[in-house]
Amino acid sequence: MPEHPPLEAAWTRLATLAARPAARDIKALFAADPERARRFSASFEDLTFDFSKNAIDGDTLVALLDLAHEADLDGFRARLFAGEVVNPTEGRAAMHMALRSAADAGMRAALPGGVDEASRLAAAERDKMHDFVRKVHAGELRGATGETFDTVLNIGIGGSDLGPRMAVDALTLARGPRMEARFLSNVDGHAFAALARAMNPARTLVLVASKTFTTLETMTNAKAARAWLAAALGEEAVSAHFGALSTNLKAVADFGIRPDQVFGFRDWVGGRYSVWSPIGLPVALAAGWEPFQAMLDGGAAMDRHFLQTPFAQNLPVLLALVGVWNINALDLRTHCVLAYDERLRRFPAYLQQLEMESNGKSTALDGNPVAQATCPVLFGEPGTDAQHSFMQLVHQGTQPVPVDFILAAEPDHDRPEAHRILAANAFAQAEALLRGKSRQEVEAEMRAKGMSDATIAGVAPHRVFSGNRPSNTLLFRRLDGYALGRLIALYEHKVAVEGWLWQIDSFDQWGVELGKVLAGGIIPALAPGAAAGVHDGSTAGLIRRFRTLRGET
């Protein structure tokens, strides 16, 4: 992988701009240019990205674009799409874009000792998925008792759960599912117990999503589901009711899953980028193949936009540069995502993994500590629910929290007035973060209501909003498969751009490994009569207390 260009001068320019006396005064920028949204927004098809409610003026935008150019973002983008190694700690390409490409797109991915024909391989697996979905929906594939499947249970964790769970919500909540999709990720036995009560084993298709077929939580849950189904239908029913999203064919066969119900993907697909792969099979089963294919098409369209569009009009690049400005120049270390759409209720959770697992790093590509702050803490909920929970902090907390507002202009329901109210709230929240409310405005309102001077003096300070709190708005026509795919790919590429500017590997995730390793050592110590093992004083004491509470000392 080529060396990252030195960027000290570019970062210094941004720091100098951020140190200006009025650098955070967004209201002043609008006062000077009420039409600034025309200059500080960009569109692709019907999707508009308005970043004018950030403390960014013309000089700042130029400096941010200069940072991108000086970092050779264009070269990184070209290497990413060429399938070169962009994940150096694992020696892998990151070619999830091939999963949504046409069979003849020609995308290739570097492997240790060779190259994969990524587009061709992805298309072949996609055709196999399509045929499977068709047969399940047509009733050609049935359960062991001859009943058709009406439920798909997806057992996975992390990227094997968050992506498909989010996409199923987005594509089925409004119009209803072709099949009921249920998801099991938490190894807590209560999760499976609740699901088992709601499912008919004779009509349930179980998908085990684990590339290696060794993930502890996933395989623990898979064994529970297997036992549940075998108890109800007999051991011989397992092969008819289970499929696997995995590449470990031997382990899958040992589990009792037949080869024609196994779907794989390669190492150039990271878990959090895998919803486009067979990991998305529950999406196609629940929503139908056409919406799933439309999601792939939307992602591919955003790929072309990201690859071909100049940085100044490039939505993923601009979204990333705004993030870099807020994080690195203004020292804002949290970020909020508010989708004003119930169908996107799981989108913030999906982005938490995408962003924080990708860019939650403190070591640079050269092995040294990073020179800049990296990923912010991300949180969010659907609007308008969030307005009645954590938005108090976002409006009046001690530190501004940048917000992404996401909204479709057209709903998929027959209550237009409800959607106008929803949209009004989204626009109002963004405007309130910008404008705030001064002490003079508060006192005038209170006097107009006949409140006493004493009451005004005591209460007015608590009703003041500082304003000048940054936000972005992403507005598009309607939420369908194509729009969803475009939105997911937008954030995928934003994450890659930020990671390159911070000089980190956005495609590995070593930080999740240590806890897994230590858990493997602690599990035997929790058995009755087992030795506690060697641990720190707190952990050893908690193990002893756990066993005492269970009466297993």
* Catalytic sites, residue numbers: 357, 388, 516
What is the rounded CA–CA span in Å between residue 210 and residue 243? 11
Of 48, 340, 345, 379, the closest CA to residue 172 belongs to 345
What is the rounded CA–CA span in Å between residue 10 and residue 14? 7
Cα dihedral 391, 395, 401, 405 sign: positive
CB-count exposure of residue 331 (10 Å: 0-12, 13-18, 19+): exposed
What is the rounded CA–CA span in Å between residue 47 and residue 175? 22
Provide the terminal-to-terminal Cα distance of the chain, rounded to the nearest Å.
54
Under DSSP, is residue 501 helix (H, G, I), strand (E, B) or coil?
helix
Structure tokens at 39: 């200059």
Under DSSP, is residue 51 helix (H, G, I), strand (E, B) or coil?
coil
> H-helix or E-strand containing 263?
strand 262-263
Measure the CA angle with vertex 154, ends 215 and 486; round to 5°.
100
Backbone angles phi, psi at 365, to 5 degrees: -60, -30
Q: Are 94 and 86 in contact (CB under 8 A)?
A: yes
Q: How far is CA 438 from the centre of its chain?
A: 36
Q: What is the DSSP letter of 115?
A: E
Q: Give the Cβ contact number of residue 94 at 10 Å.
A: 25
> H-helix or E-strand containing 339?
strand 334-339
In the numeric block, the tokens 């699901």 are attached to: 195
Q: Is the peptide bond before 384 cis (omega within 30 degrees of 0)?
A: yes
Of 133, 179, 185, 180, the closest CA to residue 155 belongs to 185
Residue 13 CB contacts under 8 Å (≥ 6 apart), including other chains = 63, 66, 67
SS3 content of the chain, % helix, strand, coil (to 5): 55, 15, 35
Structure tokens at 251: 């382990």
Kindly list the distances between the CA atom of residue 9 and the CA atoms of 6, 16, 23, 513, in Å, as whole numbers in the listed order. 8, 10, 19, 36
Give the chain's length: 553
Q: Are 470 and 25 in contact (CB under 8 A)?
A: no
